[in-house]
Structure formats: structure tokens, C-alpha cells
Structure 1
């Protein structure tokens, strides 16, 4: 999700920042600013621990799922604290909604490209306060003025005498110091880590195989299981004959619940063999008649009705009455998450307690939902969180942990449940189908009016009900309500339309991946209709958004925009203000006579504010562009007879290594507050691609994935 984090930079009081500890440890807690009523107080969101061994530990509420935040946030803390970066370690926070709520969501969750921007100021303030207390302790020890001392590389130094003392040796005394009311933060020019491409802390462990993911957990006595659910959405278990399964060596038991069947064995392979030997008759239920045609018919019908107004400015009716009208409709399909690490969860249930080992983006929600499912007090459920091998929004759902816990109720000792790829793909929580209807009024070559009606599921209404207000899903309209092009008269509507039976949830890029595909395709269409160059057309409307304008100029320059290209090869551009970052992306793509597409190159220019770790930013954009490109080229989940037709990577394609384009990322130097970056590439790739395909062929694609028959001229668009 995307949210306005402008309040993050607000000053925090010393009471918000510091609590002194004892026992030889300086404990600094920090609170993140959360929108609140005047009589409410902030809840602590994280803790910094300086031990007597010089190790600085950040107990980190956000989870590492490949985005590199454990390195980036460690850099922020180490730089402001003047700590040795090699002595900074991060630990997963335990579930605690009050203590570790992400200020963007008010719950303990990792997502929406919020981790760096949410923790930027709180970590700096906490680090600055801890540094001041350590300096004060050293000055007291030496009987000198604190102003004559400084911190560097996990030591406090008195330049006048040359004396030095390590943070660890000062921890106990520092804990007795009075916290400063407003410790000064470092000037940006004094950063020694921030802004440098620092190698990721988790790379060695991930390279040598010692990194611990949820799937790696092996508690003593663990057994292994895999599951099957009714292939039809909402179906139940009918009859189960487990005779053949139980005859397989190593199969321990078969667990039959109302909605799923699990086979438990000595190994995952044994469990899978046992599952394949089951004879299961399913009660498919009423959804067996649902298919993709029914889903799309319902969505398009719903789009004809007037929606709830999410934004209205100016006089849209007058603008359209006075200008030429142009309309277009864009559609996006269901998408699966297809994470590299299969869904998994290990659970040990006893009569009055439960222990869970997993990798999740919502550790506190896992704890509460497991407790609810098992009828246990929440304090009786312990959840251990681990590195995640790809989340993309799928692990914002606690369903896998709940299913694992329900199975564990029937198993003696710990049991590790691992989902087969087919089961995962056919029982995902899918990116919704979307239908965007756009219209623009144009007068004297300028866009004077703009309307956008977004029709799709309301994920927020289910996932975070308090944020669903007045019928508006803030995620579904994300990217549509803050169009950067300075159009004076704008109306954005949202029509809630839940697809029958199909569960929907967040997918990398969230609502912005829908709306930027529509708006950036539409802007391109308007440019070509006006006979204007797509880059020049955008630049003429971006004076009020100078950071995005600079990104468009840089991306165009670095891509060779306007230069000669071979036949059936084109360049397309997309520009967006997303997750508080400003990014422009040029795609260069070729289309052969059969409609097959080869993407040669992406060039992205991004202003993400202060670039904490440039190396991570580049990597995230590269990964996001590949992720979005794969979806645009191949991604689609289709429904037939109430069930998902795709089952694995042979029919739900990923981009292969030999198909990956060259990617260039250019960072724009900035001193602005850091923005989010993990999802911007995903939202940038699809419209840049389809705009390039239009430039190459003259065929305008308004629906994804791309239609190769249309590109080859075998069918009309």
C-alpha cells in the first residue's frame, strides 16, 4: 500500500525517543509518528540495544524479503550513531502490534515500499540520542566537557588528550545519563555510509546457504506434510479413501478437515507421494459455474454505473463541454504471486499452546489469526519470523499459517507444511481484475479535463477495514488521484466490484500497477493523437512536478530518445510519481512478423530522495522492471468451471534469463526525504512496454498480457 508519510519528519520528544535501561545495556527505544488524536500517545515501534560487547542491535519490525532493508536501515542507524557498521546487527521483531506497528498501516506489516521512508527519521533521532548519551558518559568519566568529545566507529574520542573508549565499555554508564531533549542530527554532508553502495549484509549467508528462511526450520522431531484443497473456489471435502496412501512407506497419517486434506510423512516427498495416492471426492459447491467470461462480464457491467468520487477538482462538465473528447478503456487480469520460496509453515501444537515458524509480512496478524483459529489466548501463540524468499504481497495474508495450525491440531509434535507449486498457484490470493475507463477533453492542444473510473475489488475493505471509508478503496485509486500533469479539471471515481468466488489481495505495485498502466497509456495516446512526441508532450505538462520532469528528461537523454531504430522496433516511455519517488522509464522493444516481442533495453531515471544505499535502489528497480515486464508479457490467471486453469511455470510464464533486457538505472542526486523504491519498477514496466510496442507497430494494446495476434495483424485490437 501507499500512504502519505509526510508526518514522519515531525519532531519527536525525548520521551518519545529514550528509555534508559540497566544491566550494562544502553536501551534506546524510538516511537514512530502515527496519525492520532491529541489525547493518544505514540506506541514504541522498535528498539536499539547497545551491548557491552560493542554490538549494536536493532530489533527490526520490518521483514527482509529480498529488498535489502536490513542493510539500508542498519546504515541509517550506524551513520547517525557513528557506530562501526560491521558491529550493527538486526533481529526480527516478535509479534507485538502495539510496540511494532508500521506507521503507514497502524499494524505490524511490511509492504508498500515503506520500510526505509518509515524508519528514516525515527532511526536517525534514536541514533543521535544514543550517541549523545554515550558521549556524555565518556565525558563524565574523563571529567571533560561533552562538547570536547566526539563519536567515531563505535568509540568516543577526546581529541584534546587522545583518549578513546568503546561504546560497549560505556553502555552501563550511558544508561544513567539524562536524555537530551533535542539531539542534533548530522548534516547530510557528514554522512559516511548513507549514499554509498554498501554490499548487503545478507549476501554471504544467502550465498553459502546458511541463511534461514521459513522453509529451512527443522525443530526436533518434525514431520512433513502437504495439502490439497478443493480445486473449485469455496468447495469442500466430500469423501476420502486413504487406503493406498497409508500403504506408502513413510506416510504417518492423513488429516481430513472440512475444506482440505493433508498427508503427513517422514519427508516432504513421502507426503507428496501419499497425497497423490489419495482418492478424494470433492463437494465442488455453487462456484463450479464460474469462469473468466462471467468474471469479466460482471466487471464490465459494474463499470457502467457511476462510482464513488475519490477526487474532484475544477469543473469537469464545463471542460468537456468546451473541448474535444477522447476515451479509452484499459483492463488488467488476475495475477498470481508465484514466490520463489514455496508457501510453508511449521507448527507445534500442544493442548494449551502453539509455536509457529514461518516467513510472513504480517507476523502479529499471524499470531492473532492462529490464536483465533485454535481457540487459544494470543499470548499462548509464539511466532518466529524468518527471511522470506519472495513476498510480493502474498505473505501479507495469514491463511497459510492458519491452515498449518489447523492441521497441527491433529499431529503429535511439530509438523512442517509445504505447499506444492500447483496448490499454491491454484489457491492464491490474486491481484484483482481491473477495468479503467478514462476520458479527456482537449482544447487548443491542452488537456483541460480528465476523468477516470476504476472498477475492481476493494482489498482494503477486507484487509484493513478502518481505512475503507465512504466506499473508497485507497489502494484501488492509488496513482489515479494524484496525476502529475497539472490537468485543471479532474474527476476520479471508484466502483467496487468483487469478482465472484475468486479471492483477491495485494500484488507488488498494488493499486498503482493498475492505474499507471491506464494513465500512462492514455497520455501516450493523447500525445500521438495530437501529433506530438510523447516525451515532449509530457514535459510540457510537468512544470508543477519538477522532480518528475527532471527524471523524464534524464531517461530520454540516456536512452537516445528520438534516435534512429530498426524496423518494427520502438521506444516507449512511462512517468510516475509513486511511493514518494519520481521515476521515468524508457523501454526499447522489437516485434517480429509473428507478433513475438523482444525487449532490448530499459532505461530508468529515478529521484527517490536521499539514496540510502544506491546499490539496493538499482537492484530493486532492476528486479521490479523484470517482475512487471514478465506480467505484461505473460501474466494471466484464468478461471474455468470455478477453478484456476494455470498450475505451474509451464503455463504461468516467468521471464527467462535469455529474455531479460539490458537495464540501466540512473539515480538523480537529491536531498529530499527518502521515498519508496521496491515497487516502482513493477509499475513502470507495463506502460513503457506497450507504448514502445505502439511505436514499433502502430498497434495500441489496452489490455494485458500483450496480444501477439494483434501485434502480428492477425486480429483487430
Structure 2
């Protein structure tokens, strides 16, 4: 037995299981009876003893399958999606399946929920795990029945041979199966043909809904432990380089329940200048916080504005020697030199907040020489080393307990909010619960960086694109928080792949050059974050708007122009396993959405349809999406009313139809929100908007009609959390142009900006 963070844990022996999740695949060992396999430490104690064929699930003596989920649940029903992959291959009925969201442990490997990766990364691993378990149960069941394994089949949690059958529960009761698999064995396992699937792609009840409906679901904000105190932070004037000079809590001492205020000493540098106001209740902490006066020295960012950041981005783009060459084809300069004509445009986006429903929070509990952190988090593997550094302990002495998230959208990939709670708990020697107000959350947010992009194309005969350059400057979240994730570009310069994803697109544009530039002023002013879709949220806005501009310059229909360039030539032909079909699949969603939206039909005055397309996040995990937005523009007010959004999606195999639809709906509506309504700016080093009175995301009255179609496919399942977010903005921008002849190049496209653009082109209503 090993004692970790106050819990006795029996670590499985090599005889019980061996698993590696690297490039070599996975190895599963199936233990004999009595080999010592133990139920997961986080599973409810009421569960009967389990047979654990792998660390990913266990089968109870009652036949119930408990699937271990390492992905965060933030409303997307990820446990339901992933559990059915195992259940499908294991051959059990859905009512036999349960899920448990596990705590941090090195054995799980990379614990991260983001990038639309969860189903894509988990599908092969869980399929193998389920198939391995099915084969092991068939072998063991065959022995009990007294026939050869080849004479048996598995279905509904039973092994059958003709009229004779034995349940998985009975098999486990009679002794655990004895079967092992090498990585090569696993790769060769017979996975069900798509036509034989009973759960994947079929409607099932989401496993997490009952608890969410009856109120028994526990979110991070609900975490509590006897003896804990409550904390609210006093935030410094700048995210970085602020220092506490003095604390005056004389007025706060009059608040019943107020205990003390602590200036945090943070060796990790995560929360410099933070003061934690400690009290016996949330209300007391909130009241006292308003009365505590702190004097700080601030960092240089106290004088930085949104304009300064964007001006810095433009200066970086203007220097041809800087940046990382992500795409660097030969012949770009020669193509421009011989071009019949060129087109150039610059696009910008504003700062954007996450504004998830549940403000960030964490409960830190000293346990022995270590700590437990109770919170909802999307990337446990990232924040654990930071917590260890802040607390002066080893990473093994910190355990992150998993809770449901009241929205994440990338904010909780950065687990920085756990650090101040942990430091306060260390200073006090008792549990501390940090709860940020909505305004605290906004000021402490890891925002989506503002961006500047300049695109150029060289045009040849017939409007054919012979070369394209694309320069992108923005804050880089991965550089700031996870530099180990940064690859090197063609010129040897490390770059943030999540801040440039989408620029290496599937269009045939001849010679292509993409340059990514880190906006150092953005990085030092705030902590850039991963917000739903990250780089493609600004990349696709510029790229798809610009493709329309180029089509107009070439005097070619924008849909026909896209189809002409999505020819799957050269490197755009696609490859197995994830990008089979390449650009032809993107062309197909464009064709379908054009037909679906009535492209080319005559429309009322000041009404237009715009189309945009995307391939999701990365070239090695493409989710092909196209959107057609129908909008009406009021020339007198500048108000843009989106009447309908049509979307067509090719995500390969759709594992969870209801979840997939919800992801696309939610992503598209957030894309609409960021296109027309939502955005803030940096003023004196801080975000200007800290609550929903001035920060104005999409309201329900502005939700348009939506029609979403999924392309039937048996290809590899890829991600759906983010792709729809990126196509709506450019589709709306293109529709505004179609309706008015006016091009807008900044997000969000608020009425004042629309009016200004109309006036500039002489199109405003007089």
C-alpha cells in the first residue's frame, strides 16, 4: 500500500497490468484470480470488487462496467462519448455502463481536455481496450461453457455458444480471465465493422444528465471540507511584475468572520502581487475584501492599451526578418514578381474573454507533507508541476481531485487559479477555498489575444492564385504556459502551433509562405489563453474573408473559387489515418452548404449569403466544416441581423450524435457572438469589461434559425468541440459584403463599425 495525499492506494503490479500510451501503442495484461488488481481509488466505495482488464475500465461482479475518464466534463458529455467506445467493443449493453472522472495520477499519461482532441485521441485506445476485454471474456467464458473460443460470441455482457451462455458477471465470479496482448497483438485485434456497431453513432442517454438534473452533481464551486476557510483575492494592477508594498486591513477587522489578509509569496511566479483576504464564510471574505486597502508597485503593463498591442503586432509584421516560417515553399517571391496583379488586406480581432458560467475556484487541502487540490481543471498535467514549484514539494505530493466544470472553453486549461488557494493553505496550515467573483474572474482571465494578420496573393491568368503569404501576430499562450509543446518552424524558430493552426490550409495557392510572430507586448501585458478554437478563431476570420476578397478581385463566384482551389493536388491530397480524402472532403462540405443555403438565388434588398469553410484545428486532425450565413443589414443603424446559419460537417465517424450536434450548435453560436457582439479591450494593462453589463455576448433573442448536417462517414472520428466556432464570423463578414458591397476587416463587427464601413464606401442610408 502507498499513502498519497491521505489515501491508501494499492498500486497495480506489473502482473496486474502494463500500459504504455506512447507511439508504440498499449500493452494490456489480464490478471489471474488473486493477482491483486484493485478498483480505482476514486470509484465509489459501494462498488463491488472489479476485474480490471486495463486501467481504463473495470467489470464488477454484478456485470457493471465502470469506465475511467481522464477528460474534463464541462457540459459536453465527454464521459458518454468515450464510455460507449469501450462498451461497443466490449459488447455490453448501455445500461451496464457507468463512468468515473478520475483524479490526477501519472499512470493516466497526458491529462488534457482541449484542442477537440478527446474523442480523436481516445478512440483507438479505448477501441483496443474494449476489444481486448471482449476477447479475454470470450476465452474465459468458453472454458466455463466447455467449448472452443471460436465457437463463442459476445453480446449484451454475455458470452454465448449456441443456446448456452454465461454472463460477464458469472465469468468474473468464477475467476478472472487469463490473457495478455502485446502492442502488435492490439493493433491486429478485430475491431467491429461500422455496419455492426450497436452504440457508436446511435442515440443513447447521456450518463451524466441525471445527476445534473437532480442536483447531486458536484462542481468545483461545490467542493467543501470540514474546517476550511474562505478566500477572495485582491488583484494587483498588472498581471505580471506587481509587488505588494503594504496592506491596511483596519476597516476589514470590523467585519464579523474576517480572519486576516495574506500577501502571497509565489516561487512559481504565477500570481505575483496577490493578496488573499481570508474569512470564515464567502460573504465575510467578500465584504472584508472591499475594505482591505493594498498598495502595490506595478509592472510596465499598467500603461499598455489595446492599441499599443496592435501597433506592436503591425511592427512585427513589417519586419521581414522576424518570426517563425511555418510554411516556406520555394518560389513565393518569384511568383509575386511576375504576377499579373496582387491583392493584399489586413485583418484584426479584439481581445475576448472566456466568461464561463462558473467563476474560477479551488479548494486546497494540506495533507501530511503534500496537498490535495479540489477543482475543475482541463489540463492537470500542465498545472501540477507549477503547483509543486509554488508549494516547494514534489509533483508526487500534489493530487488534483476532479470535479465537474461549469464551463471551461479553454480557460481551465490554465490551472493558475489553483496556485493562490494552495499558497494560502500552505501559509495557514489549513484548507482554503478560493472563489473569484465574476469581476475577479474577468480580470484574472487568460484572454484570447488580440491579433493582426496581413495576407497577400499573386494572381495569374484567369484569376488563378500563384502565391500566397500570410503573416500573423498575436499573443502566444503555449509560449507563455507550455513552451515544451512548441515545435520548430522551417527556419528553426520555435512557434506556438495553437496560435497559427489553420494557416497551413488545404487550398492550392501555388507557392505558400506562412509566418507566425509572437506579440511580446501581449505576452507580458496579460497571460494569453487558449479560448475555444484558439488560433483558428482569428486565422479563419482573415483567411476566409480574404478568399472572398480575392474571388471578387478575380471576378469569380466565391463558392466556385473555393472549389477550384480545393483540388487535392500535391500535399493537399490527404493521408491515412486522419485526413483521408484531403481537400476533396472540404470541397464536398462547401458544395453541400451552398446547395443547402440556396446559394445564387435572388434575395431581398440588403440581404446576403456568405460562405466560409474550415478544416477544424490541425492538418493531422481535420474536421471539415462549411457555413453559410444569411444576414440582413440595416443601413440606417448598422445592425446586422443573422437570419439563418447552415452548416455542413464531416467529422468522420460520429460517436455521439446528440453530443456532436450540441458541440456544433454551441460552437457556431459562440462564433456568432464573437463576430457581432462580444469582445473587450485592454486599458491600462487590464481588460475594460468585467461583467455582463458591458461585456455583451449573444442573447437568446438574437439566435438565428440553424440547420446542421453531418456527412455520413466511417472514417476516423475527429474533433467537434471547436471547428464550428471559426467559420461563422467570416461567413457573416462575407454575407455583409454580399448584401452591401462593404468589407469589414475587424472583429467584432458592431453597428458603429458597420456604419463607418458603409459611409466609407458611400453605401450608408441617407
Q: TM-score, normalised by structure 1?
A: 0.91
Higher mean alpha-carbon deviation, 706-715 vs 515-524, is at 706-715
Higher mean alpha-carbon deviation, 326-335 vs 524-533, is at 524-533
Give yes or no for contact 1:484–1:576 (8 Å, CA) kept in 2.
no
Higher mean alpha-carbon deviation, 410-419 vs 677-686, is at 410-419
Deviation at 1:507, TM superposition (A): 1.2
Distance (whole Å) between structure 2 residues aligned to residue 269 and residue 631 of structure 1: 34
Residue 205 (structure 1) aligned to one of 197, 206, 211: 211
Give 3-state SS (helix, strand or coil) of 2:689's partner: coil
Residue 152 (structure 2) aligned to one of 141, 149, 154: 149
1:664 corresponds in structure 2 to 707
2:328 corresponds in structure 1 to 312
Which digits, 9 at most, give the CA deviation of each residue in 1:247-285, with x for residues without a partner? 112223322336122222232122111111222333234
Deviation at 1:162, TM superposition (A): 3.0
Q: How does 1:127-166 map to 2 (within 5 A)?
A: 127-159=130-162, 161-166=163-168
Deviation at 1:514, TM superposition (A): 1.6
Q: How does 1:365-444 map to 2 (within 5 A)?
A: 365-443=382-460, 444=462
Q: TM-score, normalised by structure 2?
A: 0.85
2:278 corresponds in structure 1 to 264
1:322 corresponds in structure 2 to 338
Give 3-state SS (helix, strand or coil) of 1:339's partner: coil
Deviation at 1:214, TM superposition (A): 0.7
Higher mean alpha-carbon deviation, 215-224 vs 384-393, is at 215-224
Give 3-state SS (helix, strand or coil) of 2:453's partner: strand
Give 3-state SS (helix, strand or coil) of 2:456's partner: strand
Distance (whole Å) between structure 2 residues aligned to residue 529 and residue 27 of structure 1: 67
Give yes or no for contact 2:451–2:474 (8 Å, CA) kept in 1.
yes
Distance (whole Å) between structure 1 residues aligned to residue 396 and residue 21 of structure 2: 34
Give 3-state SS (helix, strand or coil) of 2:506's partner: coil
Give yes or no for contact 1:120–1:674 (8 Å, CA) kept in 2.
yes
Is structure 2 residue 66 aligned with structure 1 residue 57? yes
1:716 corresponds in structure 2 to 760
1:589 corresponds in structure 2 to 631
Distance (whole Å) between structure 1 residues aligned to residue 249 and residue 663 of structure 2: 46
Which digits, 9 at most, give the CA deviation of each residue in 1:105-157, with x for residues without a partner? xx321110001010111111111111011011011112101122111111112
Cα 1:677/1:416, change in 2 over 3 Å: same
Residue 477 (structure 1) aligned to one of 489, 493, 500: 500
Is structure 2 residue 117 aligned with structure 1 residue 114? yes
Deviation at 1:314, TM superposition (A): 4.4
Is structure 2 residue 95 aligned with structure 1 residue 86? yes
Higher mean alpha-carbon deviation, 428-437 vs 250-259, is at 250-259
Give yes or no for contact 2:359–2:435 (8 Å, CA) kept in 1.
yes
1:34 corresponds in structure 2 to none
Give yes or no for contact 1:197–1:616 (8 Å, CA) kept in 2.
no
1:567 corresponds in structure 2 to 605
Give the paired residue count: 687
2:372 corresponds in structure 1 to 355
Is structure 2 residue 560 aligned with structure 1 residue 536? yes
Q: How does 1:575-654 map to 2 (within 5 A)?
A: 575-579=613-617, 580-592=622-634, 593-654=636-697
Cα 1:168/1:380, change in 2 over 3 Å: farther
Distance (whole Å) between structure 1 residues aligned to residue 663 and residue 453 of structure 2: 28
Cα 1:265/1:282, change in 2 over 3 Å: same
Which digits, 9 at most, give the CA deviation of each residue in 1:34-89, with x for residues without a partner? xxxxxxxxxx9952212212121222221112222211111111111101222222
2:268 corresponds in structure 1 to none
Distance (whole Å) between structure 1 residues aligned to residue 147 and residue 54 of structure 2: 35
Unaligned runs of 5+ in 1: 1-7, 30-43, 102-106
Give yes or no for contact 2:447–2:528 (8 Å, CA) kept in 1.
yes
2:248 corresponds in structure 1 to 241
Distance (whole Å) between structure 1 residues aligned to residue 170 and residue 690 of structure 2: 54
Distance (whole Å) between structure 2 residues aligned to residue 171 and residue 576 of structure 1: 52
Residue 446 (structure 1) aligned to one of 428, 452, 464: 464
Higher mean alpha-carbon deviation, 343-352 vs 75-84, is at 343-352
Is structure 2 residue 300 aligned with structure 1 residue 292? no
Give 3-state SS (helix, strand or coil) of 1:475's partner: helix
Is structure 2 residue 31 aligned with structure 1 residue 20? yes
Stretches of 4+ moved more than 4 A in 1? Answer: 8-13, 21-29
Deviation at 1:233, TM superposition (A): 3.3
Deviation at 1:603, TM superposition (A): 0.7
Distance (whole Å) between structure 2 residues aligned to residue 319 and residue 361 of structure 1: 45
Distance (whole Å) between structure 2 residues aligned to residue 21 and residue 464 of structure 1: 42
Residue 747 (structure 2) aligned to one of 704, 707, 710: 704
Which digits, 9 at most, give the CA deviation of each residue in 1:90-119, with x for residues without a partner? 22233234x323xxxxx3211100010101
Distance (whole Å) between structure 2 residues aligned to residue 437 and residue 163 of structure 1: 67
Cα 1:642/1:435, change in 2 over 3 Å: same
Higher mean alpha-carbon deviation, 426-435 vs 619-628, is at 426-435
Distance (whole Å) between structure 2 residues aligned to residue 546 and residue 658 of structure 1: 37
Cα 1:318/1:423, change in 2 over 3 Å: same
Deviation at 1:179, TM superposition (A): 4.5
CA RMSD of aligned residues (A): 2.4
Higher mean alpha-carbon deviation, 170-179 vs 531-540, is at 170-179
Unaligned runs of 5+ in 2: 1-19, 41-52, 266-272, 569-582, 762-766
Residue 296 (structure 2) aligned to one of 278, 282, 290: 282
Give 3-state SS (helix, strand or coil) of 1:495's partner: strand
Is structure 2 residue 85 aligned with structure 1 residue 76? yes
Is structure 2 residue 697 aligned with structure 1 residue 680? no
Deviation at 1:229, TM superposition (A): 1.0
Which digits, 9 at most, give the CA deviation of each residue in 1:351-400, with x for residues without a partner? 62212100001223333322221112222222201111111111111211
2:104 corresponds in structure 1 to 95
Distance (whole Å) between structure 2 residues aligned to residue 283 and residue 715 of structure 1: 45
Which digits, 9 at most, give the CA deviation of each residue in 1:607-659, with x for residues without a partner? 00011111111100100011121112233232222322211111211111111
Give yes or no for contact 2:262–2:275 (8 Å, CA) kept in 1.
yes
Cα 1:335/1:265, change in 2 over 3 Å: same
1:217 corresponds in structure 2 to 223
Which digits, 9 at most, give the CA deviation of each residue in 1:400-450, with x for residues without a partner? 111111112233532211001111111211212221110011112211111
Distance (whole Å) between structure 2 residues aligned to residue 248 and residue 23 of structure 1: 59
